[in-house]
Chains A and B, each alone.
Chain A
Amino acid sequence: MILDILLTRYNYVVVALLLPVGAYMMIENRNLVKKVIGMNVFQTGIFLFFITAAYREGASPPLVGDGGAGVTYVSPLPHVLILTAIVVGVSLTAVALALIVRIYAQYGTLDERRLREAYADE
């Protein structure tokens, strides 16, 4: 039963493992840069869920221009959504990292606990 689920839904199992790893990095890692990496791990976990949902056994990439009749294609719609999400994710990361550089210039540390202390002292 469990082996059967693992063999037919393995990507979803990986999603269910990647999201907690990303969440753990955001909660527990003290360095702000590692928190941003954790956010990206969480995001790609969700991407994996979408792209896996678009997949169909034996299907080709959705290049409909040169296809003939009877060719099955994977669904293009989740691919489009994830393309947009990847670009938005990079924008988000760029802004987060710019803020991190600014925080470092102001406080001289990227450690969450030391930042809290510095903030409490002000």
Chain B
Amino acid sequence: MTPLEAVVLVFVIGCALAAALLRDVLSAIIAFAAYSLGIAVIWVILQAPDVALTEAAVGAGVMTLLLLLTIAKTVRPESDASFEDVRPRSLVVVVAFAAVLLATVPALPAIGAETPVTTGEVTSYYLENAYEETEVGNAVTAVLAAYRGFDTLGEAVVVFSAVVAVLMVLRREVMA
């Protein structure tokens, strides 16, 4: 673990906790935007530049914009305290959930080790043949647009449905 990774990971957890515990919704949204930016840096560290670009543009950008538009359309609840009350009942459930997840961590391979994900048949095929077969230099783009093109078509259908759903739900507010 490099110092940069440690700092970014601690920053990300801190931002997530801030978003969870700050009572004021605007503060929580700002904490979430910082969280998305930290996550985008983690994607760069993990050699995933495409995911980092998408996360920074969509996660930190569009998502924050949507959240801000929502609280502009609604009202910020008047807050007497700056932090949420933590109720023990749900804390117990969440700590148990964390314990179960942490118990699985030792069974996972070390980060950066050769695993079936990184050296398996499918990955090897994409890395060896993507450029010859699709003439796209970026293997991520090649898989996204060529090999798994139907997935991307499905994604486009989801985005289209979401736009239709948003317009239907907001018709009275937006159009009138």
Whether B170 lies near A102 (C-beta < 8 A) is yes
Q: Give every chain A residue within 8 A of B12 (Cβ-Cβ).
A: 14, 18
Query: What's the Cα separation between A55 and B163 when bound, in Å?
Result: 34
Smallest beta-carbon distance B57→chain A, Å: 10
- Which residues of A in the span 34-78 have a Cβ within 8 Å of any Cβ on B? 34, 36-38, 40-41, 44, 47-48, 51-66, 73-78
Smallest beta-carbon distance A65→chain B, Å: 2
Instruction: Count A-side interface residues using an 8 Å CB cutoff.
Output: 80
- Whether a CB of chain B sits under 8 angstroms from the CB of A101 is yes
Whether B118 lies near A74 (C-beta < 8 A) is yes
Q: Which residues of A contact B (CB under 8 A)?
A: 5, 7-25, 27-29, 31, 33-34, 36-38, 40-41, 44, 47-48, 51-66, 73-80, 82-84, 86-88, 90-95, 97-102, 104-105, 110-111
Indicate which residue in A13, A18, A61 contacts B48 across the interface (CB closer than 8 Å): A61
Whether B20 lies near A38 (C-beta < 8 A) is yes
- The residue on A at minimum CB distance from B13 is A17
Query: What's the Cα separation between A16 and B163 when bound, in Å?
Result: 33
- Which residues of B in the span 88-146 have a Cβ within 8 Å of any Cβ on A? 90-91, 93-95, 97-98, 101-102, 104-106, 108, 110-115, 117-120, 122-123, 126-127, 130-131, 136-140, 142-144
